[in-house]
Amino acid sequence: MKVLVIGGTGHIGSYLVPRLVRSGHEVTVVARRPAPQYTHERLAWPLVTWVVADRSAEEQAGTWTARMASLDAEAVMDLICYTPEQNRVMVEAFAGRTAHFLHCGTIWAYGPPDRLPYRESDPRRPIDDYGIQKAAIEAELIRLYQTEGFPATIIHPGHISGRRWLPIDPQGTRDGVGVYGKLARGEPVPLPEPGLQTLHHVHGDDVAQLFELALTHRAQALGESFSAVAPYALTLLACCRCVAGLFGREPNVELLPHDEVARRMGDGWLCTLDHLLHSPCCSIEKGQRLLGYQPRFTTEEIYAEALDHLLESGQLVI
């Protein structure tokens, strides 16, 4: 099958493109740089057809629409679409010309849930602009499938991680190696009470797996949305135990009122709050049942892989 991947060199594409090539697909990648950013794998990439293009620049110049219209594909995977306007251009370019259009959404489109685990059929209540725009794209694609038969599928990743892409840390931030080093050395890490708030990570290769499965099981995937997450979410306390345990320690955690954690963390608290509000425990039952989704990586394995890379590369020194 001829598959077109838009943005195929980033967190997801670095794993997705080799999967597609190994499965025998004829893959064309549209990207600014003709090389993967987040994987060491090199075997599949020489078989890729490259279209070197900067989407943002071409959208501003008014040339993106013509470029998309010039490309033929039986399946299109758009990994870097963030606004309904961007999506409408893609729909217009490929309506009637492709058998399957797969859009990369986000669990940030879900919003704080009323019940857990969050299912794809539950109401969308996004609370920030990114999630609102992604939810609008999803709603439009589902509407087009239901009214016009546009062959859409939406994949909603959790917090994407990998060996060379650090997970959201056990404090809910992206503070580089800081929190990992504290847990490894037994230094205190403040957490908001009661420490049972959840993070739901996913390895980039498992997001790629779900995209590939949706392509393989097209009939089951059309008109549907799927959560791409690890088998289960972890609490902040469990994340701390996991990381400290990798260094043979118990975590030195301070459970504090939110105001005190905010004072200690400064600007980092806003990042924590953001991630906790956008990281419900999500169900993967639908993906398992319809597509056979079986994520390879738990959150514990994601942390172990990332920390191994930090130690190997010298970024984390204990």
**pLDDT for residue 254:** 96
Q: How far apart are CA 56 and CA 213, in angstroms?
A: 29
Between the CA of residue 72 and those of 49, 81, 86, 252, what are the distances in Å? 12, 19, 18, 55
CATH class, 163-200+232-280+296-312 region: alpha beta
Domain with CATH 3.90.25 in the chain: 163-200+232-280+296-312
> CATH second-level architecture of 2-160+201-228?
3-Layer(aba) Sandwich (3.40)
pLDDT of residue 156: 98
Q: What was the pLDDT predicted at 81?
A: 98
pLDDT of residue 39: 76
Please list the ranges in the chain whose pLDDT falls under 50: none
Which ranges in the chain are annotated with CATH 3.40.50.720? 2-160+201-228
Rounded to whole angstroms, the Cα distance separating 262 from 270 reads 8
pLDDT of residue 38: 80
Residue (of 36, 38, 37) closest to 21 by Cα position: 36
